[in-house]
Amino acid sequence: MVRTGRRPVGRAVLAACLVVGALVACTGTPPDADRARRGAADAGDPYVPGRGNGGYDVAAYRLRVRYDPADDRLTGHATITATATAGLSRFNLDLSGLTVGAVRVDGAKAGHAREGEELVVTPARGLARGARFTVDVEYAGVPQPVESSTLGLGGFLATADGAVALGQPDSASTWYPVNDHPSDKATYDVEVTVPDGLAALGNGVPVGRTSAGGWTTWRWAERSPMASYLSTLVIGDYRVTTGTHQGKPMVTAVAASLPADGPAAASLARTGEVADFLADRFGPYPFESYGGIALAEGRISYALETQSRPVYGPGFFRSGRPDTGVVAHELAHQWFGDSVSLARWSDIWLNEGFATYA
Ligand SMILES: [Zn+2]
């Protein structure tokens, strides 16, 4: 992440981490005997109490969501494939707001309840340690942003022409049920259905687009394990450029309200060149696709290294000149932060240290 502005980046990030560290206190976790049956309600990371869960390890998310900017309403169906790391009679997912309709575990109807930003799932039958299982969650509602005076507005933000789901450390749980901690990375297949004429951009490789009845479904696949905070969804009126670089898909998108020959477009156009420069120093580019997304939404005051496709707030390009520094920072995170990733948020300084150096 980089905040907009010309302050030294390292100082801004350090300040953010210090404030986060000061605000939170270590929370207790259930005793081991209890955890054996009930998955823990957080990952035990004192920087983000309540975030993540225990008792299972997610392998894959399949998300099918529909979003209508006319009423900001999102409907979703998440299929989560995971392995129980303990015997479980119940387990938690993180989900902020939204209304859950039905939950199934291995195809059988499961009990579900909300406890704050936790979705507690009780399968019809307990899960044995080591069991591979799938959870289907149907949900709907108006997703909400996450306010943070230090790290910047994130979560799910409705914009004039669509929406942006973005933010560190919180964003994923505002639009899908998730084990929301970077220690549990997973692959993603995402289908996003939006009104015809709007783009719906995500992480990874574009795997097709179809239209029917006035709606267009955009499909994305991220096959390299990804931390949940690195997932993004950007919906709106964008100029999307699709090509290849080093034999892999390259997808860049610039908000249509920004000039086609302006500094944002010029900066993103150098993505391949900057990635190659970094690959010469750090080793092969770690993912199956390249890209970047330039927002016009002024409430996003930062750029974030969302996997394979960083998202850039408009502040970096207001000077009228291209900013390849921020492109280098976010692309360096593809190696340091995204591929090599956090087990605990207290190590975020390593991500930011390498990216700032780059
Ligand atoms: Zn950064």
Chain centroid offset of residue 166 CA: 6
Q: What is the pLDDT of residue 109?
A: 98
pLDDT at 5: 64
CA of 17 to the centre of ligand 1 (A): 12
Of 260, 249, 278, 250, the closest CA to residue 337 belongs to 278
- Its domain, for residue 311, covers 2-357
CA–centroid distance, 349 to ligand 1, in Å, is 9
pLDDT of residue 18: 31
Could you tell me the two tokens for 230? 């690195």
The alpha carbon of 351 and the centre of ligand 1 are apart by a number of angstroms equal to: 7
Residue 305 pLDDT: 98
Distance, CA 308 to ligand 1 centroid (Å)? 14
- Please report, to the nearest 10 degrees, the dihedral formed by the alpha carbons of residues 233, 229, 116, 175 taken in order: 10
Ligand 1 center–CA 251 separation, angstroms: 21
Tell me, in angstroms, the distance from the centre of ligand 1 to residue 328's CA. Answer: 10
What's the pLDDT at 159?
96
Ligand 1 centre distance from Cα of residue 354 (Å):
9
How many domains, the chain?
A: 1
* Ligand 1 centroid from CA 295, angstroms: 17
Q: In this predicted model, what pLDDT tens digit does every residue of 1-31 receive, in sequence order?
A: 888 864 434 333 333 333 333 333 333 344 4
Determine the distance separating the centroid of ligand 1 and the alpha carbon of 5, expressed in angstroms. 13
Asked if 219 contacts 208 with a C-beta cutoff of 8 angstroms, the reply is yes
Are 335 and 309 in contact, with CB atoms under 8 Å apart? no
Place of tokens 């997703």: 143
Residue 124's CB: how many other CB atoms inside 10 A? 11
User: What CATH code is carried by the domain that includes residue 279?
Assistant: 2.60.40.1730
C-alpha 318 to ligand 1 mean position (Å):
19
pLDDT at 28: 37
Ligand 1 centroid – CA 169 distance (Å): 12
How high is the pLDDT of residue 9? Answer: 40
In angstroms, the Cα distances linking 299 to 29, 39, 64, 158, 216 are 36, 37, 27, 11, 27
Question: What pLDDT was estimated at residue 69?
Answer: 97
For residue 340, the CA-to-ligand 1 centroid distance in Å is 14
Confirm if 202 and 233 have CB atoms less than 8 A apart: yes
Ligand 1 mean position, distance from CA 2 (Å): 5
Q: From ligand 1's centre to the CA of 326, what distance in Å?
A: 9
Q: How many angstroms is it from 30 CA to the middle of ligand 1? A: 33
- Cα of 106 from ligand 1 centre, angstroms: 39
Q: Ligand 1: distance of its center to the CA of 189 in Å?
A: 25
Contact between 165 and 171 (Cβ < 8 Å):
yes
pLDDT for 111-120, tens place per residue? 999 999 999 9
Ligand 1 center–CA 61 separation, angstroms: 25
Residue 141 CA, ligand 1 centroid: distance in Å = 31
- CA–centroid distance for 42 within its chain: 18
Counting as low any pLDDT under 50, the low residues of the chain are 6-36
Spacing, Cα 163 to ligand 1 middle (Å): 22
- Ligand 1 ion local residues (Cβ < 5 A): 1, 352, 355
Taking the centre of ligand 1 as the mean of its atom positions, its distance from the CA of residue 51, in whole angstroms, is 21
